[in-house]
């Protein structure tokens, strides 16, 4: 694979082993500038190792990692002011300081920082600005960690499990924040266990398992590729499915899974749904509990690896 010098991040054939175990096993990925890429995978998939190598905190065994056109390891010092990093335990080392003190400290190192008070407000921490970091809740610490990653106005941010430990409201606020980063042209790489997070935020989702990429693409591509949608409904047993299939577009299947429980599989679009319900109406059949089921990233992952994302 050729290096794309205009990419925010370009990883080629990355390998990192701990003893005999390869935590990252030949991984290649590209993050275009201004894009959001989500690394999705279960515990131990190698997400943190990958991201920490990109951040310049760990050395790869082999492979190349270019960040903003520079070498992640050799040019780490030059990259530091341009890259924001939110670690999984981002504020652990500074627990005696207050939230605002910590943010001011980080701002002091930056050439053109955000105003710490305004940023603290933006992540919803104004009320606890004077509270010692160690007294903040886990979710508040996460939000402070996010603010610390952003205070220097980075061009690229790495967010390691940004919403873990947050309540639903803080999660949504953080999602909005990440969307705003994207609007502002900031490139984002995040890791997550959460399917909805990857689906909501990412331009590209890279699904990892055991150090390798098992699938990648836009959320829509991943949930569509290789499989169709399906429609389930209940109706009187013994419908004439031959007639239904004839009415539906070629390639659509229909089965009666158990008496009165029907499953239609195919390229599910509004037209298919309309044809199905029109056919039922024509037969004097009331289709009940009709549901359209879309493949989720969880389904994709299960199909590819044989196990779930939360194992």
Ligand X SMILES: Nc1ncnc2c1ncn2[C@@H]1O[C@H](COP(=O)(O)OP(=O)(O)OP(=O)(O)O)[C@@H](O)[C@H]1O
Rule CB under 6 A: say whether 48 interacts with ligand X.
yes
CA pair distance 273, 294, nearest whole angstrom: 13
- Span interacting with ligand X, options 44-52, 92-100, 150-158, 227-235, rule CB under 6 A: 44-52
Q: Minimal distance in Å, beta carbon 304 to ligand X?
A: 16
Nearer Cβ to ligand X (11/235): 11
CA pair distance 307, 170, nearest whole angstrom: 30
HSE of 105 in the Cβ direction (CA atoms, 13 Å)? 10
CA pair distance 98, 95, nearest whole angstrom: 8
- Helical ranges in 136-251 per DSSP H: 138-150, 168-183, 195-201, 219-224, 241-247
Count of residues of this chain found to bind ligand X when the rule CB under 6 A is applied: 10
What DSSP element (H or E) covers 51? helix 47-54
- Helix, strand, coil proportions of the chain in percent (round to 5)? 35, 30, 35
CA pair distance 193, 230, nearest whole angstrom: 26
Token pair of 311 as six digits: 């194992």
Q: Minimal distance in Å, beta carbon 61 to ligand X?
A: 13
Nearer Cβ to ligand X (23/123): 23
HSE of 84 in the Cβ direction (CA atoms, 13 Å)? 29
CA pair distance 248, 227, nearest whole angstrom: 18
Q: Minimal distance in Å, beta carbon 24 to ligand X?
A: 7
Nearer Cβ to ligand X (43/62): 43
Rule CB under 6 A: say whether 84 interacts with ligand X.
no
Do 124 and 141 meet the contact criterion of CB atoms below 8 Å apart?
no
Query: Which residue of 8, 10, 40, 47 would you call a contact of ligand X, by CB under 6 A?
Result: 47
Rule CB under 6 A: say whether 198 interacts with ligand X.
no
Query: Which residue of 6, 43, 95, 243 would you call a contact of ligand X, by CB under 6 A?
Result: 43
Give the Å distances, CA to CA, from 182 to 42, 107, 171: 25, 21, 17
Nearer Cβ to ligand X (37/244): 37
- Span interacting with ligand X, options 38-46, 105-113, 261-269, 273-281, rule CB under 6 A: 38-46
Query: Which residue of 41, 60, 90, 162 would you call a contact of ligand X, by CB under 6 A?
Result: 41
Q: Which of residues 257-286 bind ligand X (CB under 6 A)?
A: none
Q: How are beta strands 229-234 and 261-266 bridged, if at all? A: antiparallel
Q: Minimal distance in Å, beta carbon 55 to ligand X?
A: 12
Q: Minimal distance in Å, beta carbon 45 to ligand X?
A: 4
Nearer Cβ to ligand X (61/267): 61
Residue with tokens 């009415």: 247
- Span interacting with ligand X, options 45-53, 74-82, 199-207, 265-273, rule CB under 6 A: 45-53
Rule CB under 6 A: say whether 49 interacts with ligand X.
yes
Rule CB under 6 A: say whether 23 interacts with ligand X.
yes
Q: Which residues bind ligand X (CB under 6 A)?
A: 18, 23, 41, 43-49
């Amino acid at each position: 694979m050729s290096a794309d010098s205009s990419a925010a991040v370009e990883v080629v054939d990355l390998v990192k082993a701990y003893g005999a175990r390869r935590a990252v096993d030949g991984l290649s990925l590209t993050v275009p500038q201004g894009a959001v890429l989500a690394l999705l995978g279960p515990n131990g998939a190698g997400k943190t190792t990958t991201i920490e190598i990109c951040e310049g905190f760990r050395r790869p065994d082999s492979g190349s990692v270019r960040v903003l056109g520079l070498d992640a390891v050799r040019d780490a010092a030059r990259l530091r002011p341009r890259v924001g990093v939110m670690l999984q335990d981002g504020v652990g080392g500074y627990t005696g300081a207050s939230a605002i003190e910590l943010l001011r400290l980080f701002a002091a190192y930056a050439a053109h920082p955000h105003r710490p008070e305004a940023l603290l407000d933006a992540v919803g921490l104004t009320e606890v600005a004077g509270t010692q970091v160690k007294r903040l809740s886990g979710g508040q610490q996460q939000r402070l960690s996010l603010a610390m990653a952003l205070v220097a106005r980075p061009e690229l941010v790495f967010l390691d499990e940004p919403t873990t430990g947050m309540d639903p409201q803080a999660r949504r606020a953080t999602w909005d924040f990440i969307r705003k980063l994207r609007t502002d042209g900031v490139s984002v790489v995040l890791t997550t266990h959460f399917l909805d997070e990857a689906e909501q935020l990412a331009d590209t989702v890279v699904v990892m398992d055991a150090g390798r990429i098992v699938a990648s693409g836009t959320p829509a591509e991943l949930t569509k590729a290789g499989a169709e949608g399906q429609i389930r409904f209940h109706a009187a047993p013994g419908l004439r499915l031959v007639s239904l299939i004839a009415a539906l577009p070629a390639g659509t299947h229909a089965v009666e899974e158990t008496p009165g429980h029907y499953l239609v599989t195919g390229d599910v679009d509004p037209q298919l749904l309309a044809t199905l319900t029109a056919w039922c109406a024509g037969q004097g059949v009331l289709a009940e509990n009709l549901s359209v089921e879309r493949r989720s990233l969880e389904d994709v992952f299960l199909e590819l690896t044989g196990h779930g994302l939360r194992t």
